[in-house]
């Protein structure tokens, strides 16, 4: 079955290299858009994954991502020469699933595509309806955090990370290990995607995100969900 890819890239050389590489496997059907306007017109079709540059001639790629999210629930992978943490944070906060910095090996690009597709299609197998702790309830079916009768929506990636850590509370995972657990692939040296998602989750579940009491980091060991102080008040239901 062909994987339908929308490639939004204004650099002809970069685009043609990606097109040539993906066409070699005969497993992909790639539609190339050179501008945001062209991409927006072509985006009315159905795609399995979107590769999106940020520096487009007529629109900011991150702003375009927000508009594409109105139609598409598929993975959106940013491919950009911009390497600042602020850019990566903004891209992932506003709808991106992953971020790959140019220049990159096309084998790494394909690995990221396949990892995001697996994450998208293989939902967490769990009979749970919700995960509870003193501070909030995680509604597994609706991907919503309920805090004092207020609902906070999680992205699919945020939900997978949070539910995984809650179900494995007390266990430590480095950013690279979390990427492998959630996406099913190695990070190939860049784990900032996980770090940004952790930051976003904290902003939604913690009273003070800068001093987290639940989703913690222990240097040298990794991230973990801490239920130790209130374990009697934390439970899951089926």
Q: What confidence score (pLDDT) does residue 124 get?
A: 44
Q: Which CATH architecture group holds 130-237?
A: Orthogonal Bundle (1.10)
As annotated, the residues of the chain forming the CATH 1.10.10.10 domain(s) are: 130-237
Most confidently modeled range among 12-26, 110-124, 134-148: 12-26
Say if residues 80 and 105 touch (Cβ distance below 8 Å). no
What phi and psi, each to the nearest 5 degrees, are found at residue 74?
-70, 165
Please give the CATH number for the structural domain made up of 3-121: 3.40.50.2300
185 vs 59: which has the higher pLDDT: 59
- Nearest Cα neighbor of 99 from 80, 118, 73 is 80
Structure tokens at 21: 């590489």
Q: What confidence score (pLDDT) does residue 231 get?
A: 39
Tell me how far the alpha carbon of residue 12 is from its chain's centroid: 27
When the pLDDT of each residue in the chain is averaged and rounded to a whole number, the result is 86
As annotated, the residues of the chain forming the CATH 3.40.50.2300 domain(s) are: 3-121
Q: Is the pLDDT of residue 145 over 60?
A: yes
Helices (H) and strands (E) in the chain, counts: 8, 12
Out of 10-24, 89-103, 142-156, least confident range: 142-156
- pTM for the model: 0.66
Beta-sheet pairing, 76-80 with 49-52: parallel
pLDDT (mean) for 74-98: 91
């Amino acid at each position: 079955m062909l994987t339908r890819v929308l490639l939004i890239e204004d650099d002809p050389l970069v685009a043609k290299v990606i097109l040539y590489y993906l066409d070699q496997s005969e497993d992909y059907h790639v539609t190339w858009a050179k501008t945001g306007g062209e991409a927006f017109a072509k985006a009315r079709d159905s795609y399995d994954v979107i590769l999106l540059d940020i520096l487009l001639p007529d629109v900011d790629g991150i702003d375009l991502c927000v508009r594409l999210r109105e139609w598409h629930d598929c993975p959106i992978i940013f491919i950009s020469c911009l390497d600042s943490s602020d850019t990566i944070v903004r891209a992932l906060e506003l709808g991106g699933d992953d971020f790959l910095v140019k220049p990159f090996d096309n084998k790494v690009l394909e690995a990221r595509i396949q990892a995001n597709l697996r994450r998208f299609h293989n939902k967490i197998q769990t009979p749970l309806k919700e995960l509870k702790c003193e501070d909030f309830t995680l509604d597994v079916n609706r991907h919503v955090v309920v805090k004092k009768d207020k609902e906070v929506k999680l992205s699919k990636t945020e939900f997978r990370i949070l539910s995984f850590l809650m179900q494995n509370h007390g266990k430590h995972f480095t950013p690279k290990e979390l990427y492998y657990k959630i996406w099913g692939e190695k990070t190939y040296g860049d784990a900032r995607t996980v770090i940004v998602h952790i930051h976003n989750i904290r902003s939604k579940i913690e009273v003070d995100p800068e001093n987290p009491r639940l989703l913690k980091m222990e240097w040298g060991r990794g991230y973990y969900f801490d239920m130790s102080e209130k374990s009697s008040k934390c439970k899951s239901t089926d």
